[in-house]
Amino acid sequence: MSILRKFLFPFAFLYGGIMLLRNFLYDIKVFRSESFPLPVICVGNLSVGGTGKSPMIEYLLKLLLQKYKVATLSRGYGRTTKGFKMVEVADKASRVGDEPLQFKNKFPKASVAVDEIRTRGIKNIMVNSAPEIILLDDAFQHRKVSAGLNILLTRYEDLYVQDLMLPTGNLREPISGADRAKIIVVTKCQEDLSLVQREKIREKLKIRNYQHLFFSYIGYQDFIQNSEEKIPVEELQKKEVTLVTGIANPSQLCDHLDAIKVSYKHIKYPDHHNFSTQEIYEISKATFLLTTEKDFMRLKGEVPEEKLFYLPIEMKLLGDPEEFNKDIIQYVIKEK
């Protein structure tokens, strides 16, 4: 923790108090939450960035689109537009946000929308596409919407119980906010996380009787791709790779590339970074560009795509995923 963040602790204490009061006023219904006549599943976290919300949304889309019409609603971080917009495959990330565009390209049958006002966004989605289920991306603190099922994510190496409030730490709200979640998922775990280690984490998180705890990890594909072709990931070992990332925490990707013996130069930007003309010019000089799927959405059409590839990932649950899937499906059936 930086010295500046330590000096800001009084502000963290004040911010935490404000958020506690805000949550209390919602809990006693002084502040109004709006409900909707269809299943609404919220995916979010207590901390700022990097817990794996996008892979979770994609997991849910893959699960639910088999039987239902599903829509996702995001704020659309980093976009230059405002208000409600339905996302199309041909959209630019600058207009709709990188993650919503990624969802639409990966799951074209899903209705994908962006709106910074979630209640308005849900109403517009219901008019535009009549979905059977709505997935709210990064909306745990948006309490104007009363989601029927809250899924809370926390990163294995940065559990919310070990963090402090902004600006000293990275918490958006006090730890007590976790009580609103029915499902808690510890993300970005080691694949060999033992049952003993999982139980220790359960104790640290103080899981309530009504809550279900799951553990997940990031699975990397054995190929890289762009819009035109796929290449075995082993080919990276023969190339002069420049890795470009604009995500909250690229350390796990770097660890994976190191493990499969890929040499690379890393150019790191902030999360949801909008690349300037000069940055695009400099990036384009690279012989071979590797990036994340989210960053690919912002870079495609800006740099020569024949040398721009991304490494696909997916969220995988440790152990049998059927219990998690059953929780989701049972909620949907109950609400429909």
Element (H, E) at 183: strand 183-187
Task: Produce one character per residue of 43-64: b if its CB has 16 or more CB atoms within 10 Å, e if not.
Answer: bbbbbebbbbbbbbbbbbbebb
DSSP, collapsed to helix, strand or coil, labels residue 237 as helix
Q: Looking at the structure, tell me whether residues 294 and 153 fall in a common domain.
A: no
Number of separate domains in the chain: 2
Q: What is the CATH number of the domain that holds 293?
A: 3.40.190
pLDDT at 1: 57
Q: Is residue 125 part of a domain?
A: no
Walking along the chain (336 residues) 10 residues at a time, the average pLDDT comes out as 77 96 98 97 94 97 98 95 97 96 98 98 97 98 98 97 95 98 98 97 98 98 96 96 95 96 96 93 96 96 95 96 98 92
Q: Looking at the structure, tell me whether residues 263 and 322 fall in a common domain.
A: no
Tokens at 217, concatenated: 């990890």
Phi and psi based region of residue 261 (left: phi greater than 0; alpha: psi -120 to 50; beta: remaining) = left
Q: Looking at the structure, tell me whether residues 142 and 260 fall in a common domain.
A: no
Whole-model pTM: value is: 0.95
pLDDT at 298: 95
Q: Looking at the structure, tell me whether residues 184 and 267 fall in a common domain.
A: no
Q: What is the CATH number of the domain that holds 36?
A: 3.40.50
Q: Is residue 193 part of a domain?
A: yes
CA distance 155 to 247: 15
pLDDT at 203: 98
Q: Looking at the structure, tell me whether residues 161 and 260 fall in a common domain.
A: no
Residue 234 belongs to domain spanning? 222-311
DSSP, collapsed to helix, strand or coil, labels residue 248 as coil
